[in-house]
């Protein structure tokens, strides 16, 4: 079953290669979507793909890259979108 999740990741997640690491992890899992820096210092992640792969990525968002300090991850289900890649914006 294919799903999409929109997640907001808070903490020290900008300037620590968070978006790039999320892109690498998503591509390893076959998940499409994007990671985008927001003005408030958080990162928005859209993750679409097979349910299990999306859940693995959503769990990984709590860890992020080595220099990240994640304090909160909030994910919600959104309508499935057939995207072709995982981009950083």
Q: Give tens-digit pLDDT for 9-65.
A: 999 999 999 999 999 999 999 999 999 999 999 999 999 999 999 999 999 999 999
Instruction: Give domain status of residue 29, yes or no.
Output: yes
Catalytically active residues, by annotation: 19, 37
Q: Tell me what pLDDT residue 65 has.
A: 97
- What tens digit of pLDDT does each residue of 73-84 get? 999 999 998 999
Task: Give per-residue burial for 19-31: e unless 16+ CB within 10 Å, then b.
Answer: bebbbebbeebeb
Which CATH number does the domain housing residue 30 bear? 3.30.70.100
Instruction: Give domain status of residue 80, yes or no.
Output: no
Instruction: Give domain status of residue 77, yes or no.
Output: no
Instruction: Give domain status of residue 41, yes or no.
Output: yes
Report the number of distinct structural domains present in the chain.
1
Range of the domain at 30: 2-8+12-72
Instruction: Give domain status of residue 81, yes or no.
Output: no
Q: Which of 11, 12, 5 is nearest to 32 (CA)?
A: 5
């Amino acid at each position: 079953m294919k799903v999409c999740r929109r997640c907001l990741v808070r903490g020290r997640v900008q300037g620590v290669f968070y978006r790039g690491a999320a892109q690498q992890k998503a591509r390893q899992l076959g998940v499409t979507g994007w990671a985008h820096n927001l003005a408030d210092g958080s990162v928005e992640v859209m993750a679409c793909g097979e349910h299990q792969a999306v859940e693995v990525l959503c769990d990984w968002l709590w860890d992020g890259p080595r220099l990240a300090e994640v304090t909160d991850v909030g994910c919600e289900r959104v309508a499935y979108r057939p995207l072709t890649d995982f981009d950083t914006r």
